[in-house]
Structure 1
Amino acid sequence: MKHRSIHTAVVLVLVTALVSTPAIATAATPTVRSVDSTDLSDPDEFERWLDETMADQLERHHVPGAAVVVVDDGDILLAKGYGYADLESQRPVVANETVFSIGSTGKLVTWTAVMQGVEDGRLELDRDVNDYLSDSAVSIPATYPEPITLEHLGTHSAGFEDTLDGMVVDEPGKIRPTEEILAEHRPARVRPPGEFVAYSNYGTALAGHVLAEQYDTSFIEYVDGRIFTPLEMDDTTYAQPLPTRLEPRRAIGYTYQNGDYRAHPPLIWTLPPEGGSFRTTGTDMGRFMLAHLNEGTYGSERILEAESVEDMHRRHFTKSRDVPELNGMAYGFIEMDRNGERIVGHWGDTPRFKSLLALFPERDVGLFVVYNAPGGAPARFELLEAFTDRYYPRSDAPLVDPSSGAADRTEALTGDYRSLTISESSWQRILGVTTRTYTVGAINDGYLTTSRLGEGTRRWVERKPGVYEAVGGDEILVFRFDEDGRATHLFQGAFGPATYERVPWYESLTVLQSVLATGVIGFVSVLLLWLGAPLWQRVRDRTAPTRRERLARGLLGVVSLLWLVVLMIFLLALLNLNAEVASPSLALQAGKILRYVALVGTAGSVVATGFVWRDGYWNTGLRVHYMGATLLALLVAWQLYLLRVLPL
């Protein structure tokens, strides 16, 4: 708990000091009734349970509306809307009418289409994707000897850095062809393919483009004809803005602030295969689930052969051979196994909409849920857990006490572990560093704790060396070690498409937050002295400073002001990330120039510090303050370099 309290306090300081990130809704522990195992044979009982569960979720997580669809044994068991799609008009959510944005859950359509290409003989999963791009402006550089294949793209193991560039625009008229965007905003290859899982929107969009190239059509036209039409997904579209017939049924996206809901206009997404512009109804997604659970068929239509469906649902990437129960990646599908049940699916996030699709292939059961507010992010996983615990409960008892020697082993695991899904070359790295870093701590005779911005502190108990289980739960953490036995990577069982890498102490959140917060305080103190010095001299009848003294003091004052302005600009850019990605503001463009001016000024302050001490400017206290402020400027520049706010 100590790590979490320090972390939270520092984050609040940083928000005030212009260097923090937007708040993220804290995940709450779901309220789930303890019941004996049951099944789905009683639809009325299931609906009563779901009604109660959803009412609780919408209230606790401040979500106006949601849609839920459950399929079982080849049919839609239940499709129901909860709450409101539009609060102003009091329009309710209707599962077969309300059109939701479902984000990356729509990627499953892309990977289904790719598998159709494999069936047709147009594509091969183990072939270099460059072989399919000979007539395209898109190409993948030979950064590593190993080529990137569709297998790598479908398991998010291609080795790309993360980037949001090119994914959103201000208005539909600015949407450009997918080929142009992929060519212009290609992310760097930062690790060999097949080494680690690191979620990539670009990788999915690239796969969709490869498919379109091979069929000499657009991706949208392909999936309309080969997936949406045969599955009767008549209310599913990538069109932006929505077609006239669907616009009146569009769910409004909301955020909850100060006791009120705020409505937001839809974002304009540019890369259809990655799912941002995918909009659909609950029942349309129910038909998609039924096709995947019925060996590729829906009614008299077949979209995939049974072997292809099985191949998509099987594991393609294992993150830990020593811990096979750790969830990995199927093809396009994310493994979500829980309570010994085989579960594959996907979830999706846009700023206001949160969705999840989960298939239980061995049970012939599927669950889809979508919410129209950020609170849906924790709510969707709570629903999956509650559903699984109720209908397919765990057979063994959860662990409670650590094993012998766990305390010593746990201490060696403490530190910060950062997701590999992060930018390595742009200021967007701030987002990944601040929101995708787990701080691991040790408490009470061998228990482990983890905390992350937006999540509460969780406690873990050792199952075996390097493998930890959530106290009272089913989730696991798995650590990977190097040849010397040092923990290097962390994997979270429920989060298949991510790898967390241990970072050195100087890149930890504690150091980052401490340096930036102290730097802000130091810069403000310089400005106060800078502005107050003339008044102080007049009141105390001090001798006027020499020209060199004024220059030295003025230089550090300008440097302090510049760093504060740079921090403010990039904080505001982070708070308005989607808008800045769509169309960088003049402020952000100015900030990119000012950061280098501030760096040059900092170098000048280092030189000036030498003169301050050599020539004995002012008294000892002021000289120490000058030197300390200059040192803080250097440390802030160093941390901003690590964040790529100051790329060199």
Structure 2
Amino acid sequence: MKSIKVLAATVILLAVCTQPVLRVGALSDPSMALESVENEQADEVSDPGEDATPSGIPYEDLPGAMDAFVDERAATFASLSVEVFRGQETIYSRQAGYADIGNKVAADGNTVYEWASVSKLLIWVSVMQLFEQGKLDLDTDIREYLPDGFFRKLAYDEPITMIHLMNHNAGWQETVYDIEAEDHSGLVDPETALRRFEPAQAYRPGTVTAYSNWGSSLAAFIVQEVSGEEYVSYVHRHILEPLQMKHTSVSADLSDNQWVSEQRQKIKSYLITEDQFIELGTAQQFLMLYPAGAAIGTMDDMVIFAKALLADDGEGGPLFEKEETLALMKEPTSYFGDSGIARVCHGMWTLQYAADVMGHGGNTAFSANLMFEPISGLGVVIMANQAGETECNYGILSLLFGEYADNPRVKGIAFEDSKDLSGIYTQARTTVKGFSGINKYLGGLMPLAATEDSNQFQVQIAPGTLTKVGEHQYVLDNQSGWRYLMFESTNADGQTVLEMMSTDVIRENAAPFWLKTGSIILFILIVLASAVTLFVKLAALIIRKIRKRSNVSHSGPIRIMHTVLSLVNVSIGVLFFTLIILPMGTGSVKPVPSMLQCIAIGINSLISIVNAAILVRYWKQ
């Protein structure tokens, strides 16, 4: 199960990341997923008028358009729950497919889905509530709200504010160690979890956007410290209970809602691609940084929460006492470059279509999306029991909100041909410091190649195109329903940066990049050559034994040392792959084993160097 979060991130960013390998039992009858289950609620609940969605669909025609869209993609999902609303009025609601394909359990109103990272919206609403009460300032150094000496790995002596946490630009690299427990008995309290998994600060605060589950969970801990209530209790008392969200759990082990815990065992997760249909089982995770992604509930409950963020003008809604607080939450706190295009609004990410929308998406072994356009009040909630589902989770957004090329910001406005953006890009959301820094060069790469069209670039390791649509503005199409803005800028080191929703993607300077990746390749070649050498020596030894020939004349010190060197090289390679590379790829790196692994590899490396020096000495003699 440790590979699911890595897998989901891989699928959702097909045009950005290399794909890991997943080995689980495939379904015996994949065709079952293609069946259409008519358990939907597709009735039009209200008639909001004759006007149209930002994409141009008249509201009266929207239910039919949604039905057609979902039916056309029935083969791409296991189950899908979706609701479209405008303000407090529901326009379309439907549950389709199976919560459990093998047992033919149809999805319905009682089906619960993981919110995944949509859970973070509960954190940011909590923060804004405390801000409204004057208990928390968004621009104050957060160390004022934390125990003394809380941080151990800061690289910059600069203030870190709540706004930095909301914008995911406090500077932390990705967490190295596994943030999941095997079961509920392995869970720890939030403070212990944060201290245990603290990542290194790789970037100066406010300079680089790199999505951080750890930073978001830190914000939840601050909510706990400032309010004096445990985070789970706070969310229940100040969000779930006022909204009557009785079918949602927010604790890591679902212990705060018995009904949700029971319903969670009735749904399974799946991985569905063009050439794979894999059942992942119940795929329940026990996240130690649970505020960042552990909420689970029905679609109806998430819709209630979404509508609360769209309270009518002049009202603070059920979440806030003042309308100004709700309005402020929808104001930008981060922009794409110097464009004035909102990137983050107090923890809510923005996506750019014919109209700009805001909200949050999430991916674990499930996929979820909560997005709305604040001007028209049009919003949507989408939930699926599928890792990295984008056909519907993002395809529906295009259906409702149109294409960015039709946004008044770029439509009909001339722009110069694109500069050459070809090269290899790496994500800022990675590990840069420590032994896991190698991960930056093993995954999350986005190589771009020029095409005959000077304004279009091809992603080389996965389906995807990057097309210029305005000055410094490009749209990345992952060919699976997701099209999003990437804004071209330049960082302080002169590197080209493509700013996307959740992270900066940075073009690597050719020489340093190939020097580092070349050393990795050289290491692999040495290990392989040593393995071949050992195989040949072993084969020769067996042949000599069979022929009963003596080997005394060929067992001098040079040959002995060469054999030892080969053995050490192979052992280093095996240790490095099985104890570091493989755990990093599956998200199962443990702190203590990692330390022992590094020590073992260091000792073996020292032996290898000593053996090489001795060989050189003998060679000279």
TM-score, scaled to structure 1: 0.77
C-alpha displacement at 1:524, in angstroms? 2.8
Q: Distance in 1 between matches of 2:405 and 2:232?
A: 38
Counterparts in 2 of 1:237 and 1:416: CA distance versus 1, 3 Å: same
Pairwise CA distance, 1:298: 9.2
Task: Give the Cα–Cα distance (whole angstroms) in 2 for the partners of residues 608 and 235 of structure 1.
Answer: 69
SS in 2 for 1:422: coil
Instruction: State which of 436, 441, 452 in structure 1 corresponds to 2:444.
Output: 436
Q: Distance in 1 between matches of 2:585 and 2:73?
A: 27
Structure 1 residues 273 and 545: alpha-carbon distance in aligned structure 2, compared to 1, 3 A threshold = same
CA-CA distance at 1:143 after TM superposition = 3.8
> Of 157, 173, 181, which aligns to 1:145?
157
* Cα distance in structure 2, aligned partners of 1:375 and 1:421: 18
Equivalent residue for 2:351?
Answer: 336
Which of 202, 206, 210 matches 1:198? 210
Q: Give yes or no for the alignment of 1:553 onto 2:562.
A: yes
Tell me which residue corresponds to 2:21: 22
**Contact 1:160-1:191 at 8 Å conserved across structures:** yes
Quick one: structure 1 residues 115 and 396, their matched pair in 2 at CA, closer, same or farther if it must change by over 3 Å? Answer: closer
Give me the whole-angstrom Cα distance separating, in 2, the residues matched to 1:133 and 1:259. Answer: 46
Contact 2:112/2:263 (CA < 8 Å) preserved in 1? yes
The 10-residue stretch of structure 1 (466-475 or 83-92) with the greater mean CA deviation from structure 2: 466-475
Name the structure 1 match of 2:488.
479
Q: Following superposition of structure 1 onto structure 2, how do residues 156-175 of structure 1 map, counting pairs within 5 Å? A: 156-163=168-175, 165=177, 167-175=179-187
1:528 to 529, 535, 545: 535
Q: Distance in 1 between matches of 2:344 and 2:131?
A: 19
Q: Once the two structures are superposed, what CA deviation does each residue of 1:259-305 show, in whole Å capped at 9, x if it has no partner?
A: 5534243011122321x211111111111111111159999834352
User: Of residues 543, 553, 559 in structure 2, which corresponds to 1:544?
Assistant: 553
Contact 1:437 1:452 in 2 (8 A): no
2:63 is matched with 47
Structure 1 residues 102, 71: CA separation in 2 closer, same or farther (over 3 Å shift)? Answer: same
Task: Verify: 1:310 aligned to 2:327, yes or no.
Answer: yes
Q: Tell me, in whole angstroms, the C-alpha distance in 1 between the residues paired with 2:246 and 2:347.
A: 23
Is 1:56 aligned to 2:76, yes or no? no
The one-letter code sitting in structure 1 at the alignment partner of 2:398 is: E
Q: Report the CA distance between 1:137 and its aligned residue.
A: 7.3
Residue matched to 1:446: 454
User: Cα distance, 1:361 vs. partner?
Assistant: 0.4
1:209 maps to which residue?
Answer: 221
Distance, in Å, in 1 between the alignment partners of 2:436 and 2:259 is: 37
Distance of aligned partners of 1:115 and 1:241 in 2 relative to their CA distance in 1, 3 Å threshold? closer
Say which SS state the counterpart of residue 329 (structure 1) adopts: strand
Find 1:610's aligned residue among 603, 608, 616. 616
Contact 1:297/1:304 (<8 A) preserved = no
> Residues 104-161 of structure 1, C-alpha deviation per residue, up to 9 Å, x if partnerless?
1110111011000000010000111111124x77347664232111111111111112
1:436 deviates by 2.2
**Residue 224 (structure 1) aligns with:** 236
CA drift at 1:37: 5.4
Contact 1:399 1:469 in 2 (8 A): no
Cross-structure match for 2:423:
415
Q: Which letter does structure 1 place at the counterpart of 2:79?
A: G
Q: Structure 2: 5+ residue runs without aligned partners?
A: 1-9, 11-17, 24-52
Amino acid at match of 1:50: M
Q: How does 1:575-594 map to 2 (within 5 A)?
A: 575-577=585-587, 580-581=588-589, 591-594=597-600
CA drift of 1:199 comes to 1.0
Per-residue deviation, 1:564: 3.1
**2:362–2:369 CA contact under 8 A, matched in 1:** yes
Alpha carbons 1:420, 1:499 under 8 Å: kept = yes
Please list, as runs of the form range in 1=range in 2, the aligned pairs for 1:60-459 lying within 5 A after superposition: 60=76, 63-94=77-108, 96-134=109-147, 138-139=150-151, 143-163=155-175, 165=177, 167-239=179-251, 240-241=253-254, 243-250=257-264, 251-256=267-272, 259-274=277-292, 276-294=293-311, 301-321=318-338, 323-325=339-341, 327-339=342-354, 341-350=355-364, 352-377=365-390, 379-389=392-402, 406=418, 409-410=419-420, 413-426=421-434, 428-429=436-437, 432-444=440-452, 446-451=454-459, 455-459=462-466
SS in 1 for 2:304: helix
Comparing 137-146 with 100-109, greater Cα deviation is found at 137-146
* Cα distance in structure 2, aligned partners of 1:305 and 1:575: 46
Identify the residue that residue 41 of structure 2 maps to in structure 1: none
Of 118-127 and 244-253, the range deviating more from structure 2: 244-253
Post-superposition CA distance 1:329-348 (Å, at most 9, x none)? 11110011212x12111111
Residues 125 and 151, structure 1, Cα contact 8 Å, conserved in 2: yes
Residues 148/394 of structure 1: CA separation in 2 closer, same or farther (3 Å cut): closer
Q: Distance in 1 between matches of 2:423 and 2:411?
A: 26
Shift of the 383–23 alpha-carbon distance from structure 1 to 2, 3 Å rule, reads farther
Deviates more, 1:120-129 or 1:384-393: 384-393
Q: Is the 2:446–2:460 contact (alpha carbons within 8 Å) kept by the matching residues of 1?
A: yes
Aligned partners of 2:279 and 2:192: how far apart in 1? 38
**C-alpha distance in 2 between matches for 1:475 and 1:290:** 24
- Greater shift, 173-182 or 509-518, is seen at 509-518
Q: Distance in 1 between matches of 2:415 and 2:336?
A: 24
Query: What SS is found at the alignment partner of 1:343?
Result: strand
1:561-572 correspondence runs (5 A)? 561-569=570-578, 570-572=580-582
Cα distance, 1:116–1:515 mapped onto 2, change above 3 Å? same
From 572, 587, 606, the equivalent of 1:600 is 606
Alpha-carbon distance in structure 1 between the residues aligned to 2:611 and 2:71: 60
CA distances 1:380-437 after superposition (whole Å, capped 9, x unpaired): 2222123222899656998999956x5xx31xx3322211111234555555543322
Q: How far off its partner does 1:220 sit?
A: 0.8
Cα distance, 1:614 vs structure 2? 1.4
User: Is the CA contact (8 Å cut-off) linking 2:441 and 2:517 kept in structure 1?
Assistant: no
Q: Report the TM-score when normalising by structure 2.
A: 0.80
CA displacement, residues 487-508 of structure 1 (integer Å, 9 cap, x when unaligned): 514224xx32211223233435
Instruction: Give the root-mean-square deviation of aligned CA atoms.
Output: 3.7
Partner of 1:460: 467
Residue 150 of structure 1 aligns to which amino acid in structure 2?
M
Tell me which of 521, 525, 534 is aligned to 1:518: 525
Percent identical: 19
Q: Alpha carbons of 1:512 and 1:608: their partners in 2 closer, same or farther (altered >3 Å)? A: closer
TM-aligned CA deviation for residue 169 of structure 1: 0.6
Tell me, in whole angstroms, the C-alpha distance in 2 between the residues paired with 1:123 and 1:36: 37
Structure 2: how far apart are the matches of 1:530 and 1:417? 42
Segment of structure 1 superposing worse, 564-573 or 257-266:
257-266
5+ residue gaps, structure 1, are 1-10, 12-18, 25-34, 616-648
Give the Cα–Cα distance (whole angstroms) in 1 for the partners of residues 334 and 240 of structure 2.
28
1:434 and 1:109 mapped to 2: Cα distance? Answer: 33
| Equivalent AA in structure 2 for residue 562 of structure 1 | S
- Change in CA separation of 1:23 and 1:488 when aligned onto 2, cut-off 3 Å: farther
Q: Give the 3-state SS of the residue equivalent to 1:556 in structure 2.
A: helix
- Tell me, in whole angstroms, the C-alpha distance in 2 between the residues paired with 1:301 and 1:461: 42
- Flag the 1:608–1:460 CA change in 2: closer, same or farther, 3 A: farther
| Structure 1 position 189, deviation (Å) | 1.8
Deviation at 1:369, TM superposition (A): 0.8
Which residue of 2 is the match for residue 634 of structure 1?
none
1:504 aligns with 2:509: yes
Q: Deviations over 1:511-552 (max 9, x none)?
A: 477446534532332222332343576779887224312322
Change (3 A) 1:476 1:73: closer
